[in-house]
Chain A
Amino acid sequence: MSHSTDESVSDRSGEPVLCIRRLHKRFAPKGGPPVEALQDVSLDVRCGEVVGLVGPDGAGKTTLLRIATGLLVPDSGTATVLELDSVRDTLQIRGRIAYMPQKFGLYEDLTVQENLDLYADLQGVEPAARASRYARLLEMTQLETCADRLAGRLSGGMKQKLGLACALIKIPELLLLDEPTVGVDPVSRRELWRIVYQMVEQEAIGVLVATAYLDEAEKCHRVVVLHEGRKLDEGAPTQFRERVRGHTFVVQPRQGARPRAIQGRLAGQPGIIDATIRGGRVRVVTHERDRAAVARAIPAGLAAGIAAAEPTLEDAFMKLLADARSSRSHADLPAAPARMAFETHPRQAEPEIERGAAAGGAVHTRGLTKRFGDFTAVSEISFDVQRGEIFGLLGPNGAGKSTTFRMLCGLSRVSGGEVRVAGRDLRRAGSFARQRLGYMAQQFSLYGQLSVIENLRFFGRAYGLTKARLAERIEWALEEFDLRSHRDATAGKLPGGYKQRLAMAAAMLHEPDILFLDEPTSGVDPLARRDFWRRINSFAESGVTVVVTTHFMEEAEYCDRMLIMSQGRELATGTPGEIRALARTASHPDPTIEDAFIALAEGAAQPRGTGGSP
């Protein structure tokens, strides 16, 4: 039953390894309306093919993968894996497929080698074949030097690669990956995909990968778009792209105009589906092939020019979802609304007592250092954030972003240097400063067993809001973050995007001046990410200072300024334009922030800063 590696690849190529036919699955959560997780979904995965399963949160991606593994039983329809039925022949299937769940299933208290040993035993890998297999997997994942390290001590990206290595311990005929790159920095993401494609080319396995990242789906042979349990469309990425040709434009801001100002004007305008900032320019997707609609929406004097843009899968995806919405006139969908909810933010009218006087604006650090014993997690970081600015902290896993963050919020003691938040020294005025700041932790840090409304009430009271004021702020939060439909849902069981909105709502209830967001968009789909940045923008416009960490380099474009760090040190500080300029070479005249980041991380670009870097 085990297929050897040198079996003729061409013979099997094109054979279906997974056939999903008319799958229906409904969940009936306690105390909530039943959820249609999958409705009439069919798809195929063939040998040697990588199929991307894309869709926003709650689209049914994980449910579909779990049905294919036999972990869930469909209500109707079939999943046929290698000509075996997923329900009837579950155990037979499990010897021939590999599955990496979202939490990748590593034992953190075992070493890298021990994890590999375990999965080799469970998968029945012949002892004689192991040495060469291990060597190959460790080489592929570049974990050779870490074989004796505990899995729990690996960085996020390394864990993810080890999870993949464990899944690939025996060459499977079908590989199922559930959001394999969530929370992984760009360098590790590239490596992970390289391994998957290497396996596909050499072993002709079939791969079905659920992902919320469309730049990854772009590399798949075929893409299936799921939305609210239904299949919206499927095809090769090029087919998707061609469909939106002529709908995509790029707006070059006039010298001195901020791209965010243009993006803010465009988002939500009639005829405009999507507006994002990419490489200092604004990308626009329109309903019709209509350049004039873009020109009309931009106030005079902001744009230097509008050009047609090469369409991407993300553009196509945005248009698909927009079309699906309008055709079904679904009112309960959180359609990216144009309304700038913070335009009447009450804080704006307040006299500025301390803010003007405070040196360095909202956040000020000089030589910020954090040591844990001999280990220096953060070394000599200095930056200033002005009021109303969106400031990004960027870096790979383990760069010290979260540690820096905790020091800024007063959650972690400063080992050296100076921090002033809202003009106060945190070491002396911790609780005062904390009243003025809102913090959203990286992990979901609300009460999973409480409902949405109970969480909001609790956090509101914790910040000292009472009665009428509390009720008013909760109403605001339900409205602003589109949580009303899930008011009484259990927080722990919400889809990722809703959790993120609830967490942010809880952090904003007491109307903080400074908002700290630690990896707020990790694992969140493109729709929810746009929604999120739209809100962040409007908060910033109304004078709230936002400090955000992210490993999505494209999101760095939404920041006014950013600091890139690696291994606890500052690599560069500056505006998105300045950062991109660091990686500009003759052969690569138009680098993205991701390119710049990778160049900086690999030491190829000379770190330069505009904000006090050494």
Chain B
Amino acid sequence: MNAFQRRAMRLTGFLRKESRQIRRDPSSIALALVMPVVLLFLFGFGVSLDIKNVPIAIVLDDRGPDARELAARFSLSSYFDPVSVHRLDEARQLLDRGAVDGIVHVQADFSVRLARGAAAPVQVLVDGTDSNLAQLVQGYTLGVLNLWSQQRAARGLPTHLPAVTIQQRIWFNDAVNSTYFLVPGLVALVMTLIGVLLTALVVAREWERGTMEAILVTPLRPGEIMVGKLLPYFVLGMIGLGLSVALGRVVFGVPFRGSPSVYLLLSTLFLLASLGLGLFISAATRVQFVAAQISIITGFLPAFFLSGLLFDLESTPWPIQAISHVIPARYFVSASHTIFLAGDVWSILQWDALFLGVMAFVLIVLAKSRLGQRLER
């Protein structure tokens, strides 16, 4: 056997061992395959940034057919769950109690003014405690009113609308569906879990159980240990990715407007950066518990909060924005949103790819320098 054959034998042996361990360890399977499904369903169905069935009170001081038609619009809308109330102060009580999130008040002279062609006032009161929800309720209420008046205008009926209307346009996510926004970002979370947490745990486990000491004193080279650890978890991460994307497409109908090959490139770079971080953490701490803690603090939490997955980074204070620039997930979430919802927009993707590539390289080099052939560094 020549040196090359021996090297290949060592590497395949190590890879075989690693994949056997993954297959026998329920926790790695759970993290790689069950976690994506759970997260997707949780976020896809449970955590929605859209409004649906918001309770509002409708006060009709004018009982004319026009007013009732307008009220019916709210009943028909899937965004609202209206209750009819006879008097405004009654509605206010409901609002104070938190039973409704908004009030639509159609005033007594509504029909009269409408028939005259004058602006017919409709008062909208919104509970401002949850500012996010308040804005949404306001926007959706106006949307219903606008639609109603537009349709009246189309039928040649007088409307209350002023001449100028505010046109709202939503690009890329024309359904204004937050699932479309969340699912691509979630993929980053799933891959962070596999890449950082799982990898950090498995290497630290080898130190804890003393197997690292034993395999170091074999001809196995540190570089081979690196490859032997990177490759299986890379495959596992890619399976997690595929599963997440498939579920997103099939169950939630998320569009995919870019090209799969570009997405594969970006996710490869991101996964390598995550694996590099995971290996570095475990080589530096050598204790599973500490490795898990550090992985969550430096990998999972930033991927959750500082990646733009949940919150728009543009609207955060500048220190947070500054920190987010060293989080690999930030670039991957940006790239995912672009590829899923917009397409291969290279002006955005080239920077994401560049940063991810540099991070992957730096982290893997760092990890390798820590994973030497000796116990002390």
Contact = CB atoms under 8 A, between A and B. Distances in A.
A123 B218 CA distance: 6
What is the size category of the interface that chain A forms with chain B?
35 or more
A71 B9 contact: no
Interface string B1-27: 100001001101110110011001100
A99 B217 contact: yes
B374 A72 contact: yes
Nearest to B13: A121
What is the size category of the interface that chain B forms with chain A?
20 to 34
B65 interface: no
Interface string A76-104: 00000000000000110011011111111
B205 to A, nearest CB: 10
A103 B21 contact: no
A118 interface: yes
Interface in B1-56: 1, 6, 9-10, 12-14, 16-17, 20-21, 24-25
Interface core residue of B10, B24, B213 (most chain A CB under 10 Å): B213
Nearest to B9: A121
A111 to B, nearest CB: 9
A119 B219 CA distance: 10
A70 B211 CA distance: 16
A124 B9 contact: yes
B319 interface: no
A118 B13 CA distance: 5
Interface in A48-80: 66, 69-73
B1 A124 contact: yes
Contacts of A106: 211, 214
Contacts of B108: none
A104 B220 CA distance: 17
Given A122-B219, A123-B219, A124-B6, A105 B375 contact: no
B312 interface: no
A107 interface: yes
Interface string B213-244: 11111111100000000000000000000000
A69 B217 contact: yes
A475 interface: no
B28 to A, nearest CB: 11
Interface in A345-403: none
B373 interface: yes
Contacts of B317: none
Contacts of A98: 217
Given A121-B10, A123-B219, A110 B17 contact: yes
A117 B217 CA distance: 16
Contact of B14 (A70, A100, A103, A121): A121
A117 B13 contact: yes
27 contacts: A66-B375, A70-B217, A71-B216, A90-B373, A90-B374, A91-B221, A94-B216, A94-B217, A94-B219, A95-B218, A101-B213, A103-B214, A104-B210, A105-B211, A107-B17, A109-B24, A110-B21, A114-B17, A117-B16, A118-B17, A121-B10, A121-B13, A121-B14, A122-B10, A122-B13, A124-B10, A126-B1
Interface of A: 66, 69-73, 90-91, 94-95, 97-110, 114, 117-124, 126, 166
Closest 6 CB pairs of A and B: A105-B214, A121-B13, A103-B210, A122-B218, A99-B217, A124-B6
Given A95-B219, A118-B14, 7 more contacts: A71-B217, A71-B375, A99-B217, A103-B209, A103-B214, A121-B12, A124-B6
